[in-house]
Every structure is written in structure tokens, then in C-alpha cells.
Chains A and B, each alone.
Chain A
Amino acid sequence: MMGKRTNKINKIIEGIRSFEDFLSHKEEILQGVQNLQHDRQVLNFKFERLLKDKNVLNSLLKKTTEDLNNAVEALKTRAEELGILLSTIPALVYFKDTNLKYILVNKSFERFVNLPFYVIKGKMVEDLFPKYKTNNYSEMEREVIQSGLPLYNIEEIIQQGEKKVWLSSNLAPFRDNEGEIIGLVGISWDITERIKHENELQYAKEQAEEGTRAKSEFLANMSHEIRTPMNGIIGMAEILKQASLGEQEKENLEILISSTRSLLSLVNDVLDISKIEAGKLELEIEDFGIRKVLKDIENILYIKAEEKILNYKTFINPNIPEFLRGDPSRLKQIILNLVNNAVKFTEKGFVHIFIDDLEKHADEVTLMVKVVDSGIGISDNGKKSLFQLFSQVDTSTTKNYGGTGLGLSIAKKLVMMMQGEIGLESEQDKGSTFWFTVKLEKCSQKIVSPESAKKKPVPDKKPFKMLSILLAEDNEINQKIIQYSLTNAGHNVDIANNGQEAIDMYHAGNYDLVLMDVQMPVLDGFEATAHIRKIESAVLNETHPTPIVALTANAMKGDREKCLDAGMDEYLSKPFTPDDLISIIRSVTD
């Protein structure tokens, strides 16, 4: 357009050479000049405008480039950091799209599948692990994509090349800026070593458990083996005591009985230890009177203390409630151990027992029991391993005082079961203070003396009923003792030497009661009982089954349940006194 106009003007300028031309073209010239004027304005504006735009846009561009560079820089650093993280992390890291195809993996992953990334890209899990049943894994990946929820700790063994590898994997979805799930990220750790360790540990644990079980079984059996003859000795001695004997003989008999009893207590200690180690010792929680427990201990030890002319005293804080909940026989055992020691290791002076309450809660008391003596005391060196099994201060102890060094370690274990602590303060030749704490619940209601509630009143005045009793027992001594006690009480006793004989005799005879030893040759007590019950229900169609009482040396927990399950009515643990026997017979026949 501009060029056209310039041409025109040139033409006009030519024309100016003639005045006529000038006149005839005057209007046209003026218009042309005006147009030129306008064009110049427009051009001027455009120029200024472009200048202004250039400035502003340059600045915008510069700023934007800066921003972009910064963003790219930041992204680069982040990407680099991420890259470093991904390539150094010892786990297999991979990203997959929603079709479960690999889109990115780290170096560890490449190394693991022994393929470069460009081969892995676009593959699926079954392409990379042909020997591995991948259905389950793909299912989980799909689940993550669909639910949008991560899955943790998927542990699987997979075959990679020649070796089998345990992997623990975590899967999580990842999303775009709009929150749309666009894939998943998986991280897998090689946990083969860990699993190996776990297996070894498990094996070792089983071995250890097996060992302990065997040991405690052995001990239980052994205690049975020992208890049976001891039962016999005590029983026989008791019977002998009934006879008229000379002074010397009576004294000898007392020594026999007391040494048998201490042997029995050793067996009991060993049994306790084996139970504790087998984890089979359980507290039997019941309501009990704490003062009664202390009285019992005093009854047992008072005489010994008296003999040594020791001042024996028990001090109990009167604020301690009369009745508490806990295991009274185990509590008694702990205190007895300590007091026994105190009496044993004190030649003159005193043995004092203090019971106090430390903390009081609405439904719980912490008892502090202190046993203080004025005995030989213990050196710092001697204190070190006091609470360990078979530990005594020095070897001379056994020689001078007897004992096996089990008492304190049993006490400590029991105290720990009662959520308490045990300790001592002592100096050589200056006496000892053994203390322990236990947590006991308070009773919700006042109870009558638990002992009297438990024990049936002695049925002296009750009319006596003569019973016909079948005793199944293989041990001859035991047969004698039991038969003696029962005939002495006016009953009729027939003896079977094993389970089979017992069944036969039961079939033939008519008995009011069966006493059934558990461990017998030919047929044991459980089986014999089962037979008898079968005969009763099927053949005789009895409505009132004959009471059967188990006699057992197995003092392990669970024996009672086993006996009752086998169809027996009661359970008596050896050794027992004639009174025990009489009263249990009463309880099942009344």
C-alpha cells in the first residue's frame, strides 16, 4: 500500500512540472499527503507500541525464564537426589502404569533380574519371573490400582535363576496432580537372610523347648519314682507310731519321718523348679487370710526357733486387710523359704518378720515382707549369685547347714510371678534382712475363714457306714498302707494289682467305691476307668455309677482334669495321710 502511494506521489511530482497538472491534481495531492500523515501516525504508534511491548514482554520473558530455570534447577536437584536415592537404595524399586507394565526401575532391580532397563520397560511381572507363579502378585497389584490403598509386607519366595529368594514387598498407588491413579510404585526387599535367621531361631527355640520339656518330664517321672517309696516310708512309719514302742525306738522313728519329710521337700523344690522352667507353674488365685498364712508359718517354725532359743516374732501392720486375693500356698512357700533360712543361719538372737503395705490402691495392695535375723550374715562376695539355682555362699554351707541352694531361686521366681521384687541387706556376722514385695488384689467382699469353708467339718459325729472298697494299686507297700488305714476305719478292702484285674473284679463283685492308682502295669487307671464306665452304661445300665477316686503321684497341673475327664469322680495326690483318704471317701459316697 505504501509503495503504491509513493509511486503515485512520484507520478504527481512529475506532474508538478506542469502547472496545469498541479492544479488538476491539487485535491489528489492533498489527500495523498493526508494519507501519508495518517500512515506515519500509525507507523509511529506501532513503533512505540512495539517498543513498549518489547520492554514489558522482555521483562516478563526474563522473569519467566528465571522462574522456569529455578523450577527446572529445583526439579533437577530433586531428580538427581531421587536418582541417587533410587540407585543406592538396596531395595528393588519399580514404577508401573495402570496396565501393570514396568515404566521405571532402579539399578538394584536391573541387577536382580539381570536385564537392562530398556528390556524391562513395558514388560509385566510374569515376563521377568517366568519360574514364579505371579497370579497372586499381579492380583495384589491390581487391587492397589483399583482401591487406591497401599499393601504392605507381602512376603513371598520366588525363584530367580537357580536360587530361591524371599522378598518382602510394599505396594502403593501414585497419582497425577488431579489425584487420578496413574500407576503404582513397588519396593521389594530381599529378606532371605532374615528368613534364614528366623528359621534358625525357630529351630533353636524348638530344640530348647523340647529340651526343657524332656527335662521337666524326666523330673516329673523321677519325682513320681521317689514319691512312691517315700509315701511308703512315711505311711509305714505312721503305722509303726500306732504301736507301743520304747523311747529310743520312738525317737528313731521321728528322725526317720523328719528326714523323709525333708527329702520330700527337696523333691518338691526340684519339681517346682522344673515346673517353673517348663512354664507350667501357674498361680492359683483365691481369697485368703494373710494372718492365717503367717500363723501357719509360725506353727511350722516356732519349734525350731524355740530349740535355738531365738526370739521369733511376726509384726503385721494392722491396716492390712484381713482378706486378700492371691495364691496363699505360694506366698507361704516364699516366706517359709526366707524364714527357714533365717532360723537356719542364726545361732542366737532373733528372727523377726515384718509385713507392711507399701502402696494402697482401691483394689490392690503391695505387701512388703521383711525377714530380719541376727545370724551369720552374708559377705558382699556371697551376695552375688544368691538367687541363682543351686547357689550357696560357700561349699562349707552344705556341710554345716544342709540344703541345696534352691530355696532363694524358687522364691525369686515366685515373687516375680506375683509382680514383685526381692532383695537383701546383709553384712558378714551382722545378720541379714531378706525382703520382697508382692502385689495382691483386695477382696471385694468379706469372707468367712476360707480354710473352714474349704475343708468339710470333720464328720466325727456322723453315723458310720461300712463300705465295700476295691483298691487298684500295683505297689505292694502302698497296698499295705492303704488297706491298713481303711480296715482300721472299718471298711472292707479288696485289692487288684493292675487295671485289668480291677475291671475283672469290678465285674464280678459289688463295690461301693473304687480307689484307682493311675500308673499301673497291663492297663493303667484311665483305661480301666473308661472300661468300668462302659460296663456300667451299656451292660448294667446303672443309673448311679460307682464313685472312682484317682490316686496319683503326678502332682503336675492338669492331672486332676485328666482324671475327671477319664470318668473319675475325685483325685488324691500322693503322699496323703489316712485322714485325707477318709475325708475324700466321705465326700464321694455321701
Chain B
Amino acid sequence: MKTISFAANNPEEIKIKLDKQIGEGFSPTLAFVFASIKPGIHKTSQAFKAYPFPVFGCSTGGNILSDHSENCIYEEGAVVTLVELNEKYFSYRIIERGSLSSFDLGRDIGLWGASEFKDPAFILVASGLSLDGKELVEGALDAAGDDTIMFGGLAGDDTRFEQPFVFSGKMVLDSGAISIALDREHIDIKGLATSGWVGLGKDLRVTSATSNIVYSIDDEPALEVYKKYLDVKDADLPAIGVEYPLLIKHNDTYSLRAVMGVDRKNKALIFAGTVPQDAIVTFSSSPGFEVIDSTKEKINEFYEKYQDADMLLLFSCMARYLALGPVITEEIKFSAEKWGIPVSGFFTYGEIGTNMGSICDFYNQTYTLVSLKEK
């Protein structure tokens, strides 16, 4: 497996750089494209129209490429990673969600992957602010098996929370998914997901919710609870709800749920993943800039186990970027320096991953790193 990554400020520059690489003898079989919506997502999509290789593209909350250059975050334009990998080792699919539930969309992907390979692993992105990431993952695991490995994220839209996309060279979908199924007989895939967010304040009870829409917390409208507790204005949501997500308490674990949208009519909040009714939740926040130290520790641990990698992908939560600002480059660059290869990825509206071998899940606020290695 060989990769070449570059950043480009606009679709024209993408084409120029693509042609240059191909001209120099690189023959990609797959492209990862993480793009801002600013130049127009259709234009970015069309930049790939002429090429035969499949495109795993999505709009983001910021594009990541950490290589030799000083900069590693690209808010304009796009980051492209071209991959040269035996076409038999992977399979590509783009699907429109249509009227499918989040769960069934996940099932669809899981079934497809399981029919492509005996032992598939998945990399996927999905778009749609109403999508329930948790159900998506559960649907996929339901179809492909509980121990299936999956990594990916939910597409962003430059923190506008209006319309994220997934796209190929031929298609742009504001409600759909792109998935790559990898044949684990030939590709090793490993990953890490770490958040470091901490719960704050007293326990609250979700008193009314369906799937990822929360209507009331402690019998008060969810929107009002957020405004009251965080002392913020109506307009600050949903963005503030990405930085201060709800922490759902389970028996001995917890999961974080970022706010993706607001149903102002019902004073309800739409989260990136399921928030079960009757769940006990608290607000949460990054513990400050020290969170980076804990991320680095986790990366070190991961590195000690899996030092060999052909390619690193990073799905980092939008909220980390908002909370850590320019300091976040430290944790991004840290991985690139460790392995000595570029890290490409994007700031997500939600991550899919597994933390070093545990069951795959849907997260928010995490630094989710994936390493791929051809066997």
C-alpha cells in the first residue's frame, strides 16, 4: 500500500496536484477527500469526475493533514490522500439513505461488506444532521457481527450545522454514506479512540426522548436546560452543545453525545447519537489543555503495540478543535511524528471506532486514530 497526501486551496488546485502525481507515475486505486464546503462541494466532487478511481469524500468541520509542513489544519479547500492498493483487497460503496432509518442504513452497509469479504473491516462516513450515529453503528454490527471493526465519522459543514455531505466523483449526498470494506486477510486495521472529556455538575434525568432527539431533561424542555445551565443564548446552540456535550452514564462506562441540531418549535435537541429516555446524564467539558497530555499518552500506548503502519487516518471531533484551538496541532502532529508518516483526516461531527480491540461504538469528542497496513 502506497499513499500520497496533499492539501489544496480549491478544486482547481486539486486537479493540478492530482495530474502532477499521476504524471509522476502514481496510480491511485482510491482517494480520500476531506473538503470544506466553502468552494462548493459539487465543484470539489467534479474535480475527480474524470478519474477512474473511487472517491471517499465528505465535507468536514476542518481538514487535517499532518506531514512535513508547519501547518496541519486546512479550513479552506481540501485534503486529499491518494492510495495505491490492490483493488481486490477492498470494495467501495456509496449509498443514499432515502427513507432508511439510521439502523437500517447501518445494516445495509454491514450486509454489503459481509457479502464482499469473509472478514471485512469498514471505513465509513455518513452525512445528515438527523442521522443517529449510534443506531448506524448498531445496524452495521447487527448485520456484520458484533466484533466487526469499523472506523469513520459523521461529515461536517464548517460548524454551520446546516448541511454536511458525502460525495464521490459522480455523486453528492446530503443524506447518505460512503463505505469502504477492507479484506482483513490482506489489510491490518487497528485503532484508538480517546476523549478525556469529564462530567460536570449534578446528575440529570432524560425524561423524554426518542432515538437521538431529546425533548425534556428533568421534565424541562431540553433546549431550556442547556441555556439555563450553560448561561448561553438561543443562537449559541447547537454549536455550544458540541463543546459541552451530554455525558451519558452507564454502569461503569460513559458515552458522550454532542448536540447536532435544534428543534426550536419543540424546544428539543437533536444529538449525534442515541440518548435513551431515562438515561442519567451530566454536562461535560474538556478538562482544559492538559487533555492533550492524556491523548499523547494513549497514542504512545497504541504506538508501542502497533508500530507498523502504511497509512494513518484521523477522525477528530469538531469539539476538540473548538476547545483546543491552535493547541490541537500538538496532538495531531504527535502521531505523524511517532510513525513518521503523514496523518490525514478531518474534524467530525461524531466518530465511529473501537478503542484497541473493544467493541465498535459511536462516539463524540474523541481523537480516533486508524492505522492501516498491508499484510
Contacts and interface: CB of A to CB of B under 8 A. Distances in A.
Contacts of A56: 230-232, 240, 244, 285
Given A46-B289, A53-B285, A55-B231, A60 B327 contact: no
A68 interface: yes
B283 interface: yes
Interface string B272-307: 000000000001010011000000000000000000
A41 interface: yes
A49 B325 contact: yes
B203 to A, nearest CB: 10
B202 interface: yes
A45 B327 contact: yes
B139 to A, nearest CB: 32
Contact of A41 (B228, B229, B231, B326): B326
B98 interface: no
Given A63-B228, A63-B229, A57 B200 contact: yes
A42 B228 contact: no
Interface in B174-233: 200-202, 228-232
B327 A64 contact: no
Contact of A68 (B202, B228, B289, B326): B202
Q: Is the interface of B mostly helix, strand, loop or mixed?
A: mixed
Contacts of B285: 53, 56-57, 60
B202 A67 contact: yes
Nearest to B227: A59
A49 to B, nearest CB: 6
A38 interface: yes
Contact of B283 (A46, A60, A71): A60
A240 B289 CA distance: 134
B323 interface: yes
A58 to B, nearest CB: 8
A80 to B, nearest CB: 22
B326 A59 contact: no
A54 to B, nearest CB: 11
Interface residues of B, number: 18
Q: Is the interface of A mostly helix, strand, loop or mixed?
A: helix
A46 B327 CA distance: 8
A45 B326 contact: yes
A60 B230 contact: yes
Contacts of B240: 56
Nearest to B330: A42
Interface in A9-61: 38, 41-42, 45-46, 49, 53, 55-61
A344 B323 CA distance: 114
A292 B200 CA distance: 96
Interface in B21-56: none
Contacts of B230: 56, 59-60
Contacts of B326: 38, 41-42, 45
B53 to A, nearest CB: 37
B205 to A, nearest CB: 13
Contacts of B231: 55-56, 58-59, 62
Contacts of A67: 201-202
Contacts of B228: 63
Contacts of B229: 59-60, 63
A309 to B, nearest CB: 93
A527 to B, nearest CB: 85
The 7 A-B residue pairs with the shortest CB-CB distance, nearest first, are: A59-B231, A45-B325, A64-B201, A63-B229, A56-B230, A67-B202, A60-B201
Interface of B: 200-202, 228-232, 240, 244, 283, 285, 288-289, 323, 325-327
